[in-house]
Each structure stands twice: as C-alpha cells, then as structure tokens.
Amino acid sequence: MPSIHKEISINAPADAVFGLIDDPEAFPRFSPNVTEVSEIQRSDGRIGDTFRATYTILGLRLPVTFTYTEYERPNRLAARFEGRFRGTMVTTLSPSGGGTQVALDLDYDVPGGVFG
C-alpha cells in the first residue's frame, strides 16, 4: 500500500488548526483535487462520523467516503476512506513555538492498479 508523509509548520495555535481540519466543508481548501463535499454526518463525539468528498482528476469524478476513527482535539484526527480508492489518513498536531507543527500520514490503495 503506498504511503505519503508530509509535515508543515503553521503560524496558528493547534486548536484553530484543528478546527479547520475538523470541518468537512473546509476539506477542499487543503486537499488537492477535492471539488465537492456532501453527505456530512456529524455528532458531538465525532467517532463514526462520515462525509463524502469528490475528487476530480483528469475529468473523472471519484467519490470517496471518509469515516472518523480517532478524534483527540486538538492533537489528532484520523479517518479511513473508501470508494474509488481506499486507505487511512492521520493528522497529528503538535505545538511548535507560537504555532503548530502538522503531520499528515496517508496510506492508500487504488483498486485495479493505475487504471483502476
């Protein structure tokens, strides 16, 4: 299963950054190729909450459903995703000076290989 690890420093407190990544409607602002978010199901505890993100790549619309699996405000948010591709996404936030260090770990699989 392919993996991606990225880190970035953001000049904002962890709680503010977490608030953004915890908002499915904001997902297109920081997730490349997401053109639509729909079917948002939210609860106070967040575990098991879902939303559908539609990725548009080379003119193809690829719907993917995300389900929260971990929720530790303001330090960690994790989800599994299923649809035209599947995997897990974990975001970890750590205070860094006056800002926040954000790490993203993404493991994914595209069924059917490169032409899936």
pTM for the structure as a whole: 0.89
Rounded CA-CA distance 91/55 in Å is: 19
* Topology of the domain covering 3-109: Alpha-D-Glucose-1,6-Bisphosphate; Chain A, domain 4 (3.30.530)
Domain borders along the chain are 3-109
Which pLDDT value is given to residue 112?
Answer: 66
Walking along the chain (116 residues) 10 residues at a time, the average pLDDT comes out as: 92 95 94 95 95 93 96 97 94 94 93 58
Which pLDDT value is given to residue 111?
Answer: 73
Which pLDDT value is given to residue 10?
Answer: 96
